[in-house]
Amino acid sequence: MTKPDYKHFLSLMDLSPESIDYMVNRSGYFANCASNYPKVLLEKVVGIYFPIPSTRTRTSFSVAAIRLGASIVSYGAKDLQLSTGETIKDTARILSNYLDAMVIRTNGSDQEMRDFASMDNLAIINAMSACEHPTQIIGDLATIKEQFGQLRGKHLLYLGEGNNTAAGLALGVAKMNGMSATFITPEGYGLSPVILRKAKELAEHYGAIIEQHHDADSLPKDVDIVYATRWQTMGVTHENDNWKDAFLPFQVSRDLMKKVSHSETIFLHDLPAVRGDDVTSEVLDGTQSLAWRQAEYKMYAAMAIIEWCLTANSKS
């Protein structure tokens, strides 16, 4: 079966600023289509492989593929022979004969994604791994751009664990000229040294700013975006029984928002949120919160990403 060489979406580290910008802008285009979505993926088949729980990401990619004209095949944790010992590369070799793209969420390493990507005629989309959540960031940047009209000059403050979403934010912001991000994380729960070093290198090259520290009492003022995530990524608890004590100072509350905000500051959260832990209800449901629009943008970003992977006219 002959198919064109498709593009993988594995990590923001692999993508040029131009490609990221293309998908951010394309997300905005889909957000304003008024349901008149172009059927650019007719005759395409997209696999949705989520062996771990997902509400927004799984649904958004499934709906995105359908709305662009593709058919989907969904797989759960025990549906593929991976669960009986077949290698990822052998599975990918077979599925590349049937599918055009495969959207994958896993708690495994990025190497698992790259093993799936061993077939150039099967586009692999990293819908979250233990190391990075790159698709989330396309929707986040598109939400910010919709609100402010541009990304340049915007300062994002991130509070909480240096998890896979934080890694994606660091790598994504680092490639946006004129943008900056400050990550304030509990001691011992920050960005991995490898990700932080790479993000700072990219930021220096592309004209952005990436910083991290662990002092919850030292907050920047007049930031444009305050961003929080769940303290227990995918609901997985931390080894230290008293871990929550380290996180409590990083809760996004109304008082914290007052300290760091200017008149147009927005609040974002990748969801699910644990109300009363990572964010209070008055912030999540408040006038500054765009978390619900941000969640909607996951579908528009999914459309942009699948289209980018599978169509020849999208920017490389």
In terms of pTM, does the model score above 0.85?
yes
Give me the pLDDT at residue 3, please.
60
Give me the pLDDT at residue 4, please.
63
Angstrom distances, CA of residue 226 to CA of 154, 260, 284, 316:
11, 8, 11, 31
Name which residue leads in pLDDT, 161 or 81.
Answer: 161
Quick check: 133 pLDDT over 90?
A: yes
- Residues 229-263 pLDDT 10s: 999 876 667 777 789 999 999 999 999 999 999 99
Question: Residues of 289-298 as b/e, b for ≥16 C-beta within 10 angstroms?
Answer: bbbeebbbbb
Reported as a pLDDT band with limits 50, 70 and 90, residue 43 is very high
Give me the pLDDT at residue 235, please.
64
The answer to whether residues 50 and 58 touch, using CB atoms and an 8 Å cutoff, is yes
- Residues 6-32 pLDDT 10s: 899 999 999 999 999 999 999 999 999
Outline where DSSP puts E strands in the chain. 45-49, 71-75, 101-104, 123-126, 155-159, 180-184, 209-213, 223-228, 261-269
Give me the pLDDT at residue 315, please.
60
The percent of residues above 70 in pLDDT, for the chain, comes to 96
Quick check: 277 pLDDT over 90?
A: yes
Give me the pLDDT at residue 169, please.
98
Give me 303's structure tokens: 């459309």
Structural domains of the chain, ranges and CATH numbers in brackets = 12-132+298-310 (3.40.50.1370), 136-296 (3.40.50.1370)
**Integer distance in angstroms from the first to the last C-alpha of the chain?**
24
Give me the pLDDT at residue 77, please.
84
Q: 247: Cβ–Cβ under 8 A, 6 or more apart, which residues?
A: 160, 161, 186, 189, 231, 277, 278
Reported as a pLDDT band with limits 50, 70 and 90, residue 2 is low
Quick check: 193 pLDDT over 80?
A: yes
Quick check: 316 pLDDT over 60?
A: no
Quick check: 81 pLDDT over 90?
A: no
DSSP 152: T
The answer to whether residues 46 and 70 touch, using CB atoms and an 8 Å cutoff, is yes
Q: Whole-number mean pLDDT of the chain?
A: 94
Which segment of 112-121, 146-155, 269-278 scores lowest on mean pLDDT?
Answer: 112-121
Q: Is the peptide bond before 272 cis (omega within 30 degrees of 0)?
A: yes
Give me the pLDDT at residue 162, please.
96
The percent of residues above 90 in pLDDT, for the chain, comes to 82
Q: Is the Cα dihedral 63, 69, 73, 75 positive or negative?
A: negative
Q: 233: Cβ–Cβ under 8 A, 6 or more apart, which residues?
A: 161, 163, 164, 165
User: Can you tell me the mean pLDDT for 57-74?
Assistant: 97
The answer to whether residues 151 and 163 touch, using CB atoms and an 8 Å cutoff, is no
DSSP 289: B
